[in-house]
Amino acid sequence: TTVIVQNAGKNPVHRHTRDLRMEPGSREHLVATSLEAAKDELARGLEGLLGREVPVSTKPGQRVPDGAVVVGTPETSQLVRRHAPSEELRTVGDEGYLIRSVSRGRHDFTVIAANTEIGALYGTFAFLRRMQTQQPITGLDVTEKPRIANRHLNYWETERLYAGNDATGTGGLNGENGAVFNFAATGESADRNLPVILDRYLVVARALASVGVNGITINNVNADNAYLTREYVEQTAALADALRPYGIRVALSVKYTAPTDERFAPDTLTEDQLDPYGAEFRDWWHRKAEHIRDAIPDFTGFTVKANSEGQPGPQDFGYDHGDGANGIAAALAPLGMTVYWRTFVYNADVDDDRLKRAYLEFGHIDDEPQDDGSTGRFADNVFLQTKNGPLDFQAREPFNPMFGRLENTNQALELQITQEYTGQNTMLCYLGPMWQEVLRTDTYTTDEHGELLDDRLVGHIVDGTAQGHPDTAIVGVANLGNADNLTGHHFSQANLFAFGRLAWDWTLDSERIATDWVRMTWSNDDRIVDTIVRMMMGSWEALVSYQTPLGVAHQFADGEHYEPYPSQWFMKDDWSPVYYNKADSAGLGYDRSPTGSDFTAQYFPTLAERYGDIESTPENLLMWFHHVPWDHRMDNGRIFWEELVYRYQMGVQYVTWMRETWDSLKPSLDARRWAEVRDKLVQHEIDAADWRDTNVEYWQEFSGREIPVDDGPLS
Ligand code: GCW
């Protein structure tokens, strides 16, 4: 075969940093265009898959040899103009592609065509994925385009660093060592700081492009104002230059009060000047954004965590989220930039049930009638960025009622790829099924006449079809670090892969995604594929079972969010396990029904009713909504106490089964990676048993009942 990418280098993307360079001895290299990236991926990929070198041609005007792969856009390639029907191309938009098998006489070849170079790169990866997973590559007539426009990552792995490569594998809170990108203040030696590009940055860029991720907010949402200084902007610009050919645009997290930071003197404001309607506030943000734009022409905008977990925000100055978000948005709008305003707010001093807070703070702004006759105060270039569940990335949460309830505001769904609460870098937990469950949950959203919408799953809200939102976004909290395998656990890569695939098309099946990943990562042998996919597919449900079964939430020890500590009370109610489990002699779980906090009233009527009644609440969400009596009768006839213990045991048994199954795969897999996963599974089993024992023993103090023995003893 031959790779033909005409004019691959014709349209170099803007490069701001002249001394951008790879560190000496690199294996990766910088490219100037997305087509060059596509050409390299094909050459490398085909060489790896076919085991021989593949000729590459970038010349215009030539005959297409049999078996060739042609990549390009109508603008760069006369072959694409000739062989990709323009009516079809029109339908795939800016990021989509088409892949076609073409026959000309005795010559058969493949055309990967798109309207843009980045579309062509996405098509290239899709074609390689087909080959890698051993699907047919003849008779192709594929058109694809993403359902969600902004497929974005947030990077705050630095909070806990379980994808970093320090000795313990976990790193300390707020440590910087182990972060995926080296900025001035990071631990690695200064001569490896940006604008020096390390191999792993390009590996990350290639991995993200291969699944269609097109943006990243590079710093922690608990933002350090340093990222707005000249020195840091220069470094971010260098990174943006390296990522740009891969279609990845950068954004920054900012603090609402950044204008008062002395580091920007003499360009600083006083607190009195932090009026989001005032010219001083808006001009300040506009100047900062302009400065960034000059260095990074395709800069996306700002992510803001305001009045959340001690971060400053408009409420500190007598304004609300709408005032604050719109103030910054107005400064960014002329530059075409966006504000991602997070809705992760809670305060146990105000609401005893913190889950109600987000809707209480944001709902009325979304509902507010405007002078021009429209409804909703948030500006068009604001996304409200909301976690999938109302608490905080617990292994299973009911969906956040904000999805559906907010009708007039662009909304971004925030998912956590990094496994903060789902086993970190130790537990094998494939999150595809969780995200599928979230995206396919029926919100029962009604229109203004109270009629149910036709398309009203969470995914329809996010992709804009339910409520007709012009801009759409999905955000994943990234799990990248400086570990050799980038994620700390080999199987965590599957989560990054699944996030990207679902961000591109949320209707994809998570098992199908897992199958592709296993074929691309471990083996194409059907027996092995089936076995590993089976391990992955049950791993999340198993984790839910041995950590927080039947909807009992947040039983984690303070800070690290890895170990159990159900009896812990610390500092404030809104983080204490005892506050969530409410264990007493009557039962277990948090009553959020009308007899309790009435959080259920935030859902649309069908769900408010369903979740409000213990009999109709899905059992896997039971303790999210009810204080469940120990002898409550479950669907299968067991009483609640027995079912609870059974779940813990089943969860651990699944992990045991995974460890044994993995052992059996030893002869068939790459030895080093097999052993690394095996070590993780051994620890995983120990820690899962700890979750079961710690919790069951503690619950028993309240239930006063025997531990049922028929399902096998506790360890
Ligand atoms: O659950 C918490 C995490 C914090 C995180 C916060 C958030 C970055 O423990 O590490 O802060 O969520 O989402 O802002």
- Per-residue pLDDT band for 175 (boundaries 50, 70, 90) equals very low
Protein residue whose Cα sits closest to atom 12 of ligand 1: 392
Which pLDDT tens digit goes with each residue over 61-117?
678 999 999 999 999 999 999 999 999 999 999 999 999 999 998 899 999 999 999
pLDDT at 154 over 90: yes
- Active-site residue, 392 included: yes
CA–centroid distance, 345 to ligand 1, in Å, is 11
Q: Label residues 1-21 b or e (16+ Cβ within 10 Å = b).
A: bbbbbbbbebeebebbbeebe
**How high is the pLDDT of residue 647?**
97
CA dist 240 and 246 (Å) reads: 10
Residues 284, 356 within the same domain: yes
Residues 120, 29 within the same domain: yes
Ligand 1 pocket test, pick from 156, 218, 400, 414 with the greatest ligand atom count within 8 Å of Cβ, gives: 156
Q: Within a domain: residue 568?
A: no
Catalytic residue, candidates 241, 275, 392, 619: 392
CA–centroid distance, 354 to ligand 1, in Å, is 15
**How high is the pLDDT of residue 189?**
62
Ligand 1 pocket test, pick from 340, 420, 477, 580 with the greatest ligand atom count within 8 Å of Cβ, gives: 420
CA–centroid distance, 159 to ligand 1, in Å, is 8
Name which residue leads in pLDDT, 188 or 599. Answer: 599
- Active-site residue, 323 included: no
Q: Which atom of ligand 1 is nearest to the CA of 477?
A: 13
pLDDT at 712 over 60: no
CA–centroid distance, 573 to ligand 1, in Å, is 17
**How high is the pLDDT of residue 562?**
93
**How high is the pLDDT of residue 569?**
84
Ligand 1 pocket test, pick from 162, 305, 344 with the greatest ligand atom count within 8 Å of Cβ, gives: 344
pLDDT at 710 over 70: no
Which pLDDT tens digit goes with each residue over 335-350?
999 999 999 999 888 8
Closest alpha carbon to 359 in 617, 576, 600: 600
Residues 222, 132 within the same domain: no
Residues 194, 247 within the same domain: yes
Which pLDDT tens digit goes with each residue over 674-706?
999 999 999 999 999 999 999 999 999 999 999
pLDDT at 172 over 80: no
Which pLDDT tens digit goes with each residue over 474-525?
999 999 998 889 999 999 999 999 999 999 999 999 999 999 999 999 999 9
**How high is the pLDDT of residue 519?**
98
CATH code where residue 71 lies:
3.30.379.10
Q: Which atom of ligand 1 is nearest to the CA of 561?
A: 9
Q: Which atom of ligand 1 is nearest to the CA of 305?
A: 14
Tell which of 110, 144, 178 closes a domain: 144
Residues 325, 460 within the same domain: yes
Going by the DSSP 8-state scheme, the letter that residue 633 receives in this structure is: B
pLDDT at 551 over 90: yes
**How high is the pLDDT of residue 21?**
94
Which pLDDT tens digit goes with each residue over 301-336?
999 999 999 999 999 999 999 999 999 999 999 999
Contact 587, 630 (CB under 8 A): yes
Ligand 1 pocket test, pick from 392, 400, 575 with the greatest ligand atom count within 8 Å of Cβ, gives: 392
CA–centroid distance, 325 to ligand 1, in Å, is 20
Residues 401, 266 within the same domain: yes
Residues 237, 370 within the same domain: yes
| Residues paired with 252 in a beta bridge | 302
CA dist 466 and 445 (Å) reads: 9
Tell me the Cα Rg of the chain: 26
pLDDT at 187 over 80: no
Ligand 1 pocket test, pick from 154, 159, 254, 355 with the greatest ligand atom count within 8 Å of Cβ, gives: 159
Which pLDDT tens digit goes with each residue over 426-455?
999 999 999 999 999 999 999 989 999 999
Q: Which atom of ligand 1 is nearest to the CA of 220?
A: 8
Residues 327, 471 within the same domain: yes
Q: Which atom of ligand 1 is nearest to the CA of 309?
A: 14
**How high is the pLDDT of residue 711?**
52
Name which residue leads in pLDDT, 60 or 536. Answer: 536
- Strand ranges (DSSP E) for 88-183? 97-104, 107-113, 141-144, 150-154
**How high is the pLDDT of residue 167?**
39
Q: Within a domain: residue 428?
A: no
pLDDT at 170 over 50: no
Catalytic residue, candidates 271, 309, 455, 526: 309
CA–centroid distance, 656 to ligand 1, in Å, is 31
CATH code where residue 237 lies:
3.20.20.80
Residues 303, 452 within the same domain: yes
| Ramachandran region, residue 318 (left: φ > 0; alpha: ψ -120 to 50; beta: rest) | left
Q: Within a domain: residue 519?
A: no
Residues 63, 203 within the same domain: no
CA–centroid distance, 308 to ligand 1, in Å, is 9
Residue 392: C-alpha distances to residues 250, 354, 580, 641 (Å): 25, 11, 12, 26
pLDDT at 289 over 70: yes
Q: Within a domain: residue 99?
A: yes
For residue 377, give both structure tokens.
């105060």
Q: How many domains does the chain have?
A: 2
CA–centroid distance, 306 to ligand 1, in Å, is 12
Protein residue whose Cα sits closest to atom 2 of ligand 1: 392
CA–centroid distance, 554 to ligand 1, in Å, is 13
Return the residue matching tokens 């995926």.
180
Q: Within a domain: residue 116?
A: yes
**How high is the pLDDT of residue 709?**
72
Contact 483, 163 (CB under 8 A): yes
CA–centroid distance, 428 to ligand 1, in Å, is 22
Tell which of 436, 461, 487 closes a domain: 487
Instruction: Tell me what the mean pLDDT of segment 358-387 comes to.
Output: 97
Q: Within a domain: residue 96?
A: yes
Q: Which atom of ligand 1 is nearest to the CA of 159?
A: 10
Find all residues with CB under 8 Å of 133, minimum gap 6, and list them.
515, 516, 519, 520, 524
Protein residue whose Cα sits closest to atom 10 of ligand 1: 159
Instruction: Tell me what the mean pLDDT of segment 147-163 comes to.
Output: 88
pLDDT at 407 over 70: yes
Specify the 3-state DSSP secondary structure of 119: helix
- Active-site residue, 309 included: yes
**How high is the pLDDT of residue 176?**
43
Residues 349, 240 within the same domain: yes
Q: Which atom of ligand 1 is nearest to the CA of 221?
A: 8
DSSP 520-548: HHT---HHHHHHHHHHHHHHHHHHHHHHS
Q: Within a domain: residue 82?
A: yes
Protein residue whose Cα sits closest to atom 7 of ligand 1: 344
Distance of CA 638 to the CA centre of its chain: 37
**How high is the pLDDT of residue 114?**
98
Phi, psi for residue 436 in degrees, rounded to 5: -60, -45
Q: Within a domain: residue 232?
A: yes
- Strand ranges (DSSP E) for 329-394? 338-342, 382-387
Largest Cα–Cα separation, the chain: 82
Instruction: Tell me what the mean pLDDT of segment 637-642 comes to.
Output: 97
Across 227-231, 432-436, 499-503, 568-572, least confident range: 568-572
CA–centroid distance, 477 to ligand 1, in Å, is 10
Average per-residue pLDDT in the chain?
Answer: 94
Catalytic residue, candidates 420, 463, 642, 687: 420
Q: What is the ipTM of this complex?
A: 0.99
CA–centroid distance, 418 to ligand 1, in Å, is 11
CA dist 283 and 286 (Å) reads: 5
Tell which of 87, 113, 144 closes a domain: 144
Instruction: Tell me what the mean pLDDT of segment 198-216 comes to.
Output: 97
Protein residue whose Cα sits closest to atom 1 of ligand 1: 392
Q: Which atom of ligand 1 is nearest to the CA of 393?
A: 1
Ligand 1 surroundings by CB, under 6 angstroms: 156, 159, 220-222, 305, 309, 344, 392
CA–centroid distance, 388 to ligand 1, in Å, is 14
Residues 107, 237 within the same domain: no
Calculate what percentage of the chain has a pLDDT beyond 70. 96
- For 56, the domain range is 3-144
pTM over 0.95: yes
Q: Which atom of ligand 1 is nearest to the CA of 392?
A: 1
Phi, psi for residue 215 in degrees, rounded to 5: -165, 155
pLDDT at 579 over 80: yes
Protein residue whose Cα sits closest to atom 13 of ligand 1: 344
CA dist 454 and 445 (Å) reads: 9
